[in-house]
Chains A and B, each alone.
Chain A
Amino acid sequence: GDSVTQMEGPVTLSEEAFLTINCTYTATGYPSLFWYVQYPGEGLQLLLKATKADDKGSNKGFEATYRKETTSFHLEKGSVQVSDSAVYFCALRGMNTGFQKLVFGTGTRLLVSP
């Protein structure tokens, strides 16, 4: 079945450092790919998305490129802030499910210190 694998956290960075959170997926065809962010004690919010190969999703300084050849959707940000501290989830919407099911990775916690 469809699955998403994320790097284990926590990822600990100083403010203004470069961020990469790795995400790879297993799915048939061309799934849609997403990054969600969860701040402490809250639900998930959509951060960015990509629906076809080579698409680049971007939002709030975060970017991720849909790489079909490596089945990856790594999240990057050039300069992180303390306010970016949260848990980040990679997710996919497969093509074989008969309903709108999202499959999530296990999440990666990001801690940014001043």
Chain B
Amino acid sequence: DGGITQSPKYLFRKEGQNVTLSCEQNLNHDAMYWYRQDPGQGLRLIYYSQIVNDFQKGDIAEGYSVSREKKESFPLTVTSAQKNPTAFYLCASITVISGYTEAFFGQGTRLTVV
């Protein structure tokens, strides 16, 4: 089945560590996105990539980094510069179907700083 796979589902990070969240898709979509979800704040865009080897900052990119070396993969690194990393992270791919935009989401990764 086609879809978005995020791993791990739960991740614990110590203060000062970098951690990388995986996102893989087999939908052959060009565009991929990372969102952060906090209680009461909805989804906020961290980074997005429209094509391989290109990505752009979203609304809250500080303390995060990404790469897009393959169409299928868009990993997110949460660096030690991110002051409040505990959150639920969602990866999505977005395509245009019959003229409208549709987003496909992974199951999410819950990151906790310990």
Size bracket, chain B contacts: 20 to 34
Binding site for A on B (CB under 8 A): 4, 6, 31, 35, 40-43, 45, 48, 50, 56, 90, 92, 94-96, 99-103, 105-108
Binding site for B on A (CB under 8 A): 32, 36, 41-46, 49, 51, 89, 93, 99-102, 104-107
A43: contacting residue among B42, B56, B90, B96, CB under 8 A = B90
B108 touches A42 (CB 8 A): yes
B105 touches A43 (CB 8 A): yes
B100 touches A101 (CB 8 A): no
Contacts of B92 in A (CB 8 A): 43-44
A51: contacting residue among B4, B42, B95, B99, CB under 8 A = B99
A43 touches B43 (CB 8 A): no
Alpha-carbon distance A42/B56, docked complex (angstroms):
26
